[in-house]
A and B are shown apart, each in its own frame.
Chain A
Amino acid sequence: MTSAVAQEDAPVPVAARGRRSSLTRSRIRAAWAFIAPSLIILALIAGWPLARTIWFSFTDANLNNLSDYEFIGFENYLANYDGEWLGLLTDPDWWHSVWNTVWFTLVSVSIETVLGIVVALILNAAFPGRGLMRAIILIPWAIPTIVSAKMWNWMLHDQFGVINDMLLRLGLIAAPITWTANPDTALWTVVMVDVWKTTPFMALLILAALQMLPGDIYEAAKVDGVHPVRVFFRVTLPLIKPALLVAVIFRALDSLRVFDLIYVLTANSRDTMSMSVYARQQLVDFQEVGLGSAASTLIFLIIALLVVITLAAGRVRLGEDPR
């Protein structure tokens, strides 16, 4: 019976690997022909601005006069004038924005993952009106961030906002809270709105994974008398883990670049400033194109590094088919 185990792929003979058949060659040519236009467009719309940003980060360019600048090396990042260290890497505001971004990413993605799983499990259960519920729950995700952020801004307004009004009427608070301006609540408020907006997306990705699960193993667990909570942690969670990881990575990369939500809700407040908001402030408000570009380049490097790490970790984990 042991002989029935799948054999390893037979190694390709060396000779066959060396020269490709003409059919293979023409297929490769066709593939390049199809990919080339999108590669060129990608190079123009993504590669060129990226290259320009990186270049500017090594100059003293100013928004007043973009044609007149000088190459200054790494001075935007780190420079030593008369024994005093200057540059982006010494700016406490920059590091504060890095910390804000990381904190925001960790907290919001964690909450969204847990809530997303809960919502997905509910939507996966059979109940009347399930199709409608699945559509309704997507609404927050479908609204453009600018719109929903503005909408929340009004609802959270300290004098006219409906949320303060409700809490006051219920007697839960004694005085209106300045949700987005108070340093204690500002970042949590941003997280809350992000959770409201993004949980449906997580839920839907997880729901798709749940629906791929074989139903019979749940019946087997039922016959075996395994408690549903245990079934969730020992069966469901391990089986949806690959999809869950993809969803978390997606969301994390998104959160690291967060801009519109924070900018609309709290503008340039230092308490909530993310890396992207910091870069925009340098570029536009302070007109420091060089410094702003340096910040943008660092954001790019941080995210690129995380992508590489997750992909490397993912190859080990995601490559393994759990079934």
Chain B
Amino acid sequence: MADVVLKSVQKSFGKAKVIHGVDLDIRDGEFVVFVGPSGCGKSTLLRLIAGLEDITAGDLFIGGERVNDLAPAKRGIAMVFQSYALYPHMNVYDNMAFGLELAKSSRQEIDRKVREAARLLQIEQLLDRKPRQLSGGQRQRVAIGRAIVRDPKVFLFDEPLSNLDAALRVQTRIEIAKLHTDTRATMIYVTHDQVEAMTLADRIVVLNAGRIEQVGTPLELYHRPANLFVAGFIGSPQMNLIECQVAGFGSSEVLVSLPGGGSLSVPVKPDGVQAGDAVTLGIRPDHVRIGPEGALTGRVELVEELGENHLLYVDAGQGRRLTIREPGDARHEAGSTVSLDLAREFCHLFRHTGEALRTQADATTPTSPNLTSSAV
């Protein structure tokens, strides 16, 4: 059993507070991905769990045991570093065996483990090479192999694929997913890459400035972002965000007036908003359609053809720019004027504080961060 529980964990470097009380409950065998903008504290949080940094306040439990004061080696974790952190003067075999040699394992036992890991990662033919004789992808496998041989209860990955090229990233990503299915170990994974986060995670933790913004399955975050930050962060291209005003509301819908005169009824619970409140309407690029009589009009500024689909960047007045994604080749040229139809059932509304208004469907799923989950 290796669940990882963080209870109001805080971290300060001198006077600078970097992690502001994080509560998180990671279940045994779960694959959790930390995402967030650069400098938000993802690596720091991971290093706190690893024991490479001291926890300033709060408690950390691994497998039910409080490990705040436990040395990294005693926590049953293994870490894969972004920079690989291989011992440059040792060959691949020794790199993997070095950490085992003192763990009272016999020679044969070490040898068996190293060869087993090498076989799993298909680096058997590289065991005699030095790290500098390996490609980036091979080095990363060795780094992962070094983690595997330790038989950890919890794997920690800090942006392990960020130094690899696109093709290798996909391949290694799949291998990591396979490793998770094979070992059923708990995995905590830091990344910048949305695709990695969406594909690997059982649950994603969105961090911002040292706080958790939302925790949930990839689709929960995509379809029901709890706030503006998550809405803007998850999904590429970014969700379109339009400032507007509440014009009225019913029991399960809010009528907003759009800039440019149109209005739209969004099916969310009003939950205390008043007419005249400033709100933000969010809609993903896929849910904006070019139709004969849309709620907004604008001028196409730029067209990006991607083959299977295309992106239109539309200026809807006052510098408000919307992104639209439509399948196939573009049928509009830059400079033409189009009318935009917003699919109301896909619209999100956010209060001026950033918090999302819930839809009818959400009502059954609580959105408080550490409880949100239907994973596993």
Contacts and interface: CB of A to CB of B under 8 A. Distances in A.
Contacts of B135: 1, 4-5
Given A2-B125, A219-B81, A321-B132, A224 B99 contact: yes
Nearest to B82: A216
B15 interface: no
Contact of B85 (A1, A5, A214, A323): A214
B122 interface: yes
A223 interface: yes
Report the interface size class on chain A.
Answer: 20 to 34
B137 A4 contact: yes
B107 interface: no
Contacts, number: 81
Interface string A217-249: 101111111110010001100110000000000
Given A4-B137, A225-B102, A225-B103, A220 B81 contact: yes
A222 B122 contact: no
Contacts of A214: 83, 85, 88
A222 B89 contact: no
B266 to A, nearest CB: 49
Contacts of A224: 73, 98-99, 146, 150
B50 A223 contact: yes
A6 interface: yes
Contacts of A322: 88-89
A220 B133 CA distance: 20
B40 to A, nearest CB: 21
Contacts of A234: 98
B89 A323 contact: yes
Nearest to B78: A223
B72 A223 contact: yes
Given A5-B133, A214-B83, A216-B83, A222 B99 contact: no
Contacts of B74: 225
B137 A1 contact: yes
Interface string A238-266: 11000000000000000000000000000
A226 B102 contact: yes
Contacts of B77: 223
B52 interface: yes
B306 interface: no
B349 interface: no
B102 A1 contact: no
A144 B84 CA distance: 47
Nearest to B137: A1
Contacts of A4: 134-135, 137-138
B71 interface: yes
B152 to A, nearest CB: 9
Nearest to B83: A216
A66 to B, nearest CB: 56
A190 B85 CA distance: 44
Interface string A1-14: 11011100000000
Contacts of B103: 225
Given A322-B88, A323-B89, A223 B73 contact: yes
Contacts of A227: 102
B52 A223 contact: yes
Interface residues of B, number: 35
B86 interface: yes
A239 B72 contact: no
B79 to A, nearest CB: 5
A4, A5, A214, A225 pick with most chain B CB within 10 angstroms: A225
Contacts of B79: 219-220, 223
A6 B133 contact: yes
A216 B85 contact: yes
A4 B126 CA distance: 12
A281 B79 CA distance: 66
A238 B50 CA distance: 27
Contacts of A230: 102
A214, A223, A235, A238 pick with most chain B CB within 10 angstroms: A223
Contact of B122 (A1, A216, A221, A323): A1
Nearest to A1: B138
Interface in A1-44: 1-2, 4-6
Contacts of B78: 223
A106 to B, nearest CB: 27
A240 to B, nearest CB: 10
A6, A216, A238 pick with most chain B CB within 10 angstroms: A216
Contacts of A238: 89
Contact of A219 (B52, B87, B133, B146): B52
A226 B133 contact: no
Given A224-B99, A225-B73, A226-B98, A323 B88 contact: yes
B258 to A, nearest CB: 51
Contacts of A222: 52, 71-73
Given A2-B125, A222-B73, A224-B98, 5 more contacts: A4-B138, A5-B135, A217-B88, A239-B88, A322-B89
24 contacts: A1-B138, A2-B126, A4-B135, A5-B135, A214-B85, A216-B83, A219-B52, A219-B81, A219-B85, A220-B81, A220-B86, A220-B87, A220-B146, A222-B72, A222-B73, A223-B77, A223-B78, A224-B73, A224-B98, A224-B150, A225-B102, A226-B98, A321-B132, A323-B89
